[in-house]
Structure 1
Amino acid sequence: MEYSEVIENWKLFSVGVKEIGGEVHTLSIEEPATEDEVATVESKLGFEIPRSLKEVLLVFSKKVEFRWFLPDNYKMEGELSQIFSGDRHWSLEWLVKFNENKNELRDEIFPNKNDPYDLVWHDKLAFHEVGNGDYLAIDLSRAGQEPVVYLSHDFGDGHGVEMAKNFKEFVFLSSRLGCVGAEDWQWLPFLVEGVPFINPDSENAIRFREALRVKV
């Protein structure tokens, strides 16, 4: 997949949401970052930005915002019934603040690395604040690997689940799901038992796109 296809997918879902009476609050894609801008943020973070995230920032966009909401009276069925929105946002500029906030929560509530639940909050780079105390983050604990994982503050079912093998793949995969809301209960229906990561070719994914009349 190319970045141009990601943008096209976002536009198609925007049309689909609007046609059923929903709202697209924003679809904004800024220019790519410069090497100097990335280096400045890395200096503030104290470590290098993961390779896949850095590529997206340098080649695609340093700041993206895409948010939509289904109409209040529109309800999907079955496992899709809790989906109500889509949200994808990242920004090179926000990385420092997001991680300061995440680290404060980690140190206050999840400090114990010997506790399996707490451990998930450690050695992560948060790139997306879900808005309910949870985060989407990149796992920094394994050399050569950069999976996107979910950090839940309240024992959500998605805690520690790997959503994609790296940030770039996350952007590609989630674009085929309209960047369905970041809360774990909105994207968990797109996991398939025995298959890693969110699956845009699953039965639920096909049903979801059919409901919005989107073909991607």
Structure 2
Amino acid sequence: MKERFATWAEQWVILLERLERRRARVRPLAIKPPAEEEELLEAERRLGIALPQAVREILREGSREVNVTWWLPDWTIVRFSSSGDFGWSLDDMEWPDFGGDLDEAGGRYLAFYCAHNGDYVLFDREKDPENPAVVGWDHETDEFVLLAPSFQEYIERVTALSCIGAECCEYESYCDGHGLDLQGEAALGWTAWIEQYLSTTLADAASSLDKLVLYASMHGLEAERVKEAFDEYDSAIVLREWQHRLESESESYRKKEWCVLLAGTVGPVAADWVRSLWRDASHSYSLAGEPLHYLTAACLPVAEGLYLVCGELERTDEDRKISGFTANGALWFFRNRAALPWMEKHVSFPIDGWDSLFAVCEPEWSDVGQWLAGNDVQRQTAVSGLGIMIRGKASPSGEPDAALLINLLELVKQQSVLRKEKERVDLVLSHFAADWR
């Protein structure tokens, strides 16, 4: 077992090193020393059973606690598990409180790992208490999924799958009636994808547009060299490639990520196509809401894009006031003070969402003064928006009229009724007024 564990540990080290080189987020690998006999006995006293011999062997000759955790970057487009969350802990072994009828199976399921969302990975002692199977439990559905016939086999299979996450939604697509199936279609697809992710270089990918598109979907466009590689191809052909990906994308939440890649590589070249999406709501790309708003902000002139999105907001909420969260969600992508005149007309209480939008529109100090001199909702929105900017280490542009702004802020404070409103003004004054004076 010592040799087997050393091989696993080496595989985990290599995996995390390769992921980190690809800018994935990685937690330091945690491998604690093997469990001492007294520690095993103490755990057995706490649990009220003798630990299964097969489990004892791994804890005693391998490690009492292991944790492998990683996440792919947010920009990565992947149809498989996008994070790793794997391990065990002698100290955390427990008899879980399932509640309801499941608690009648007391003594059968021994949890040895809890996923970030509350799902458990457990030993199922029913058939073989000395060499129990490993199952996953979904805390939302109360369903169990067989992962492997033994602890050792569980470690082997999950390690082969790059230590995929412990949440049921992460591994259920890889399971059949016998547990994690390494030869199943989903597992083979995932292992091929992650190996491409870890090994393909930009130089390799740039040799063909198909490879380059795949590389960008894995690694995003943050590196300027990726955008330069796309410049070697005709922009109209690149646009068609992204359009094809959007048409074939079945998951709506991934469409926004394809739109980011499209806008980042062809941008204004896609303007006429984006306009056509607004003219024909029945288009085959199924783009609406966030993906369409993003493309509009990224590919059209600011004034034209704002006209389209603001018009949609007014039509959608024709018979009621527009909420700040709705407005923020639709206009956030513009990040432009040109949205402020429209906001002035529609801002309303509660200001949640409106204040975030004010901040992200990157106002000038002249805009701040105008809003502070406006009606109550405009004043409160501007003050709260300034607080958001302060927390984000941002500041309005231009030269402030310090005396005017201090007077306006102090007036807002005098007119404020709620303590939190006064505290917002104090935050802004304490941050800016020292420099103004």
Could you tell me which residue of structure 2 aligns to residue 49 of structure 1? 51
| Structure 2 contact 33–64 (Cα < 8 Å) conserved | yes
Instruction: Choose 1 or 2 for highest CA Rg.
Output: 2
Give how far 1:122 is off: 6.1
Structure 1 or 2: more strand by fraction: 1
Give how far 1:41 is off: 0.8
Could you tell me which residue of structure 2 aligns to residue 140 of structure 1? 125
Q: Distance in 1 between matches of 2:33 and 2:160?
A: 22
Aligned residues: 194
| Structure 2 contact 145–172 (Cα < 8 Å) conserved | no
Could you tell me which residue of structure 2 aligns to residue 88 of structure 1? 86
Give the structure-2-normalised TM-score.
Answer: 0.41
Q: Distance in 2 between matches of 1:146 and 1:48?
A: 13
Structure 1 or 2: more helix by fraction: 2
| Structure 1 contact 68–86 (Cα < 8 Å) conserved | yes
Match of 1:170 among 116, 130, 154: 154
| Structure 2 contact 137–168 (Cα < 8 Å) conserved | no
| Structure 1 contact 174–200 (Cα < 8 Å) conserved | no
Q: Distance in 2 between matches of 1:176 and 1:46?
A: 33
Match of 1:2 among 4, 8, 30: 4
List per-residue Cα deviations over 1:23-65 (Å, max 9, x = no partner): 1112111111111110111011100112222111011001111
Give how far 1:119 is off: 5.9
Give how far 1:200 is off: 2.6
Structure 2 residue ranges without an equivalent (≥5): 200-437
List per-residue Cα deviations over 1:1-37 (Å, max 9, x = no partner): 9222212221232133223321111211111111111
Match of 1:200 among 170, 182, 191: 182
SS in structure 2 at match of 1:142: coil
CA pair 31-75 structure 1, distance change in 2 beyond 3 A = same
SS in structure 1 at match of 2:172: helix
CA pair 204-19 structure 1, distance change in 2 beyond 3 A = farther
Greater mean deviation of Cα atoms: 131-140 or 118-127: 118-127
Give how far 1:203 is off: 3.3
Could you tell me which residue of structure 2 aligns to residue 154 of structure 1? 140
| Structure 2 contact 44–50 (Cα < 8 Å) conserved | yes
Greater RCO structure (CA 8 Å; 6+ sep): 1
Q: Distance in 1 between matches of 2:11 and 2:64?
A: 19
Q: Distance in 2 between matches of 1:121 and 1:150?
A: 16
Q: Give the % identical residues.
A: 26
Q: Distance in 2 between matches of 1:59 and 1:40?
A: 17
Q: Distance in 2 between matches of 1:203 and 1:3?
A: 28
CA RMSD of aligned residues (A): 2.3
Give the residue type in structure 2 aligned to 1:147. Answer: A
List per-residue Cα deviations over 1:112-166 (Å, max 9, x = no partner): 25xxxx667762100011132321100122245511111222116xx22110111
